[in-house]
Structure 1
Amino acid sequence: MNNTHLHPSILKDGPISIGFVLAPNFTLSAFSNFLDAIRLAADDGDLSRPIFFSWDVISHDYQPIKSSCNIKVVPTRTIYDRKHYDYIVVVGGLLQNNQKLPNQSIEFLLEAAKAKTTLIGICTGTFILARAGLLKTSKVCISWFHHDQFINEFPKIKANADSLFTIDNQFITCSGGIGALHLAAHLIERHRGKYEAVQSLRILQSDFPLPAQSLQPPPTTLTSARSAKVKKAILFIEKNIRNPLTVASIASNLNVSTRHLERLFMKELGVSPTRLYLKLRLAHANKLIRQSTYSISYVASECGFIDLSHFCRSFKDEFGITASTAREQYSMHSVRINGVLVQ
């Protein structure tokens, strides 16, 4: 159940203490979005004094930790200091390079969990908590971008890619990006008040704090959708490009009739769910053709087309050129820019 039980430190004297554990190649924006909101709420005025909140970057040593954009952050405290934290925030990063937290940091997280410290996973930090065996019975939030990989690795963990963040007793998980900002605002409101949370976001030129169940921004350019049902339907579509769902299945997941979902799409986007699904699959195919060396038949399969001839006809109808021509244009462009032929 997604509840709002948080650490009893809301009642304590002194600042709320937050420890950041940064994974190798961590996502800098997720870290900075969360921390900057907290920093602005830690003091009255823009002096950044840690009066109401305090924070450390924790590691097993003082070696700089490189982010995914090559900016490095130097830890301010080691795990061996045994300092108590009200929250420990694990900020994840790139998954494909298979870099992991040092064993000492994993042990630190396990000890904190035993001590009932609230643990927060931001971005792929949720993968780190899950791999440490800490989320077996929890409901978690994961970015739509990593959702498929997460459920493949952890099929027994209940994961959603709809909300910005999820609070489940001792564990809080967050999609990252703007979700980290609004999670920080949520904690600010819990410990300082609504005004301080709003003020912190205003200084950062963001909107009012959004609740946990707010939908993640759709991973498309179709931001004109207003209905929560339409936005959720788009998320279902994006998460199932390779194995397309039927419109009836999407409607059933949203507890609406197929006809009602079709009316919502036409009203808000001027296109049917079926047509949108096809356009997004073809857009993904176009990107793969122009930015990868995969064969056209492989691209068709990756985008949910069983019949290659159907894919080729649909591609030409959508973009006015064949898939082969699109690949040739990409190759010519690569020669002109890089001096080599990319195939």
Structure 2
Amino acid sequence: MIQQSIYFRNFVLITFLIVLTSCQDYNELIENEKHHNTDGMLTVLDRIHQRCSDITHIYDLPLKSVENRPLRVIVFSDHPKYHELLEPEFKYVGNMHGNEVTGRELLLRLAEYLCQEYRNDNEEIKNLIENTRIHLLPSMNPDGWEAAVQYAWNHTKSGQFKDISTMLKESGTTDWIAGRSNANNIDLNRNFPNLDEFMYEYKHNANYRNNHLDIEAFLSLVVGNDCQDNPYQIETLAAAFWILKKPFVLSANLHNGALVANYPYDDSENHRRMYSSSPDDPLFQLLAESYSSTHKTMQSQQKSCDTDVFPEGITNGAA
């Protein structure tokens, strides 16, 4: 467990390095300073796989988006096509909110970085890939991304940009709402079963357990609705059953907005704002701090524009 924790801590640190190396141009796999549409994103993943076919595998989640776009994953490992006994499985999800593009682009650059640095015999990267199976889903909401881009293009001044690519490079998508949700106008970040409720309920039962809530998750997805009484969306179902199928031991979801590393739980037992620790609280704090401590702005307690203050750049989701 200690060894696995070290690998994950290193992985979070390496992920932050992608921010620093995003301007580095390898001149092979990815066009920097560019937002990638769905086709461009898929092309980048294919290029990376072709360059590093021995340590990568590409697969799609079993369901496509509402508008029939693939939810594509690239895997990095020394045996990328299958799980190895006792090897930790990790996943990153980006672009759950379609108009939040940073996670999408960072995961593309992370994939490129892992591939190129493995080829460059970077010992830290080789050690990581040989001892961890890493799944990257750059976009969980490709429909929302396309909607955000189209909205931005439709609302630009006539002649301001020569084309959509130029607009994205120079301005991006700046609307807070357009494209945030999926094509059915459902916020995917509020569209998962609240398994915290099962945890709090089981605390008062004799046969209390705090893990492997597969049956509870499955039944919630099949017969229930989300916390806003919306039906579970096809993108949510694809991601949820992916999580149930793969033995992930750690995950992270990249968003724009508040500059903070948020860790479980996300709800308290009485649904009030208060610190609510999970059984792995010390490990989650370590992982969150390993990211924020390498980020100058997150580490500072100085209040940024339109944001809350998060000491050390981390927060418990229920606090």
TM-score (norm 1): 0.27
When Rg is computed on C-alpha atoms for both structures, the one with the higher figure is: 1
TM-score (norm 2): 0.29
The answer to which structure, 1 or 2, has the higher relative contact order (CA under 8 A, 6+ apart) is: 2
